[in-house]
Amino acid sequence: MPPRRPEPTFGTVSLDEISMSDPFIYPDEKSRTYYLTGTGGRLYKSKDLRMWTGPYRIIDLEGTWMDGHFVAAAEIHHIGDKYYLAGTWNDHGHLIENVPRRYNVPTNQTQLLVADSPEGPFEPLVPEYDFCLGPGDWDIIDGTLYQEDGTTYMVFVHEWTQLIDGTMAYMPLSKDLTHRTAEPTTIFRASEAPWSKEMNSIGEATFGLKMPGWVTDGPQLFRTQTGRLGMLWSSWGEHRYAQGVAYSTSGSIKGPWIQEKEALKGDNSGHGMLFRTFEGKRLLIIHHAEPRGRRKPQIWDVDDSGDKLVLKDRYRD
């Protein structure tokens, strides 16, 4: 595994000064505060989306297999009177599958933590040491929460490193979110999107290995103002990382799902998430990297007034 980056110095900085993959903003109406988190699991706070204070430590994993392991794609959700952090932890010392001539697949699982405040501390919702929310023999990352008809679903990535053609899948959760109530259902495969490119065809390597495959990353479900159900998700495209969109023809998570022909943003940007400002404006936060540069969050204006999400200009407060 690559060495971890040094911990950022605590302070107040502009969004342009933050390096972060998989950014997610939770706007807390109660405190009128925007909370930014993502890969690494640290938290930044802002009142204006321009200047951010942090990073704060908000996670306590003592007594679980996740303790001491890296977290990716952290998100904050408010359900009922609790706040939930969905994050993906990996244990490269525990293999779930050996794929000959390809890759030793380690444990990756998206788990749920719970707190009384968006500032934490977030602790495991199910504290049993070996607990995994998804099937233990699945390589699962980037889980997010979505509610439909009284059921909370976890929508997640079944990794391409295990499947070759990565998928999006969902599983319904119990009312208290402590366990799945049915086995996962596949939504679509990465290769179904016309803009998604096979890794070897564009010269990309993972962990230094030239592994063939199609990637799925970063799901988030949303509805346009007309009520159409869509999903943001990412893969690799013609210009490296890309942000795409799929739409459900039934208006339900059960689909079927159709892919847009072109990426929403295909310039080495991706893992985007939508949120609303306290004034009701819908925005997209996404990470972008210049050639040989670090991934940094960017905020963009979007138009969701029609049946499709339309990317507009870079957001300037």
Per-residue pLDDT of the chain (317 residues; tens, 9 = 90+): 445 666 788 999 999 999 999 999 999 999 999 999 999 999 999 999 999 999 999 999 999 999 999 999 999 999 999 999 999 999 999 999 988 878 789 999 999 999 999 999 999 999 999 999 999 999 999 999 999 999 999 999 999 999 999 999 999 999 999 999 999 999 999 999 999 999 999 999 887 888 899 999 999 999 999 999 999 999 999 999 999 999 999 999 999 999 999 999 999 999 999 999 999 999 999 999 999 899 999 999 999 999 999 999 999 87
Distance separating alpha carbons of residues 53 and 48, to the nearest angstrom: 11
Residue 215 maps to a domain: yes
Other Cβ atoms less than 10 A from the Cβ of 23: the count is 26
Q: Taking a C-beta distance cutoff of 8 angstroms, is the pair 139, 162 a contact?
A: yes
Say what the pLDDT of residue 251 is: 98
- On whether residue 70 sits in a domain, the answer given is yes
Secondary structure E strands in 80-164:
82-99, 103-115, 123-124, 140-148, 151-158
Report how many domains make up the chain.
Answer: 1
Instruction: Kindly state whether residue 171 falls inside one of the protein's structural domains.
Output: yes
Closest CA to 234 of 152, 315, 144: 144
In a domain, 6, yes or no: no
- Classify residue 225: in a domain, yes or no: no
Structure-derived torsion over alpha carbons of residues 257, 163, 196, 88, reported in degrees to the nearest 10: 80
Whole-number Cα distances in Å, 256 to 7, 11, 42, 250, 251: 43, 46, 36, 7, 9
pTM above 0.75, yes or no: yes
Asked whether the beta carbons of 110 and 156 are under 8 A apart, the reply is: yes
- pLDDT score for 142: 98
* Calpha distance 202→32 (Å, rounded): 43
User: Cα dist. 210→30, 196, 203, 289 in Å?
Assistant: 48, 17, 8, 22
Q: Please give the pLDDT value at position 5.
A: 61
- Cα separation, 281 vs 276, in Å, equals 5
Residue 229 lies in a domain: no
Give the residue numbers spanning the domain of 155: 11-184+210-220+274-314
Residue 247 lies in a domain: no
* H helix intervals, the chain: 160-163
Q: Cα(142)–Cα(86) distance, rounded to whole angstroms?
A: 8
The two three-digit tokens of residue 158, written as one number: 């079944």
260 located within any domain? no
Q: What is the CATH number of the domain that holds 309?
A: 2.115.10.20
Q: What is the pLDDT of residue 3?
A: 54
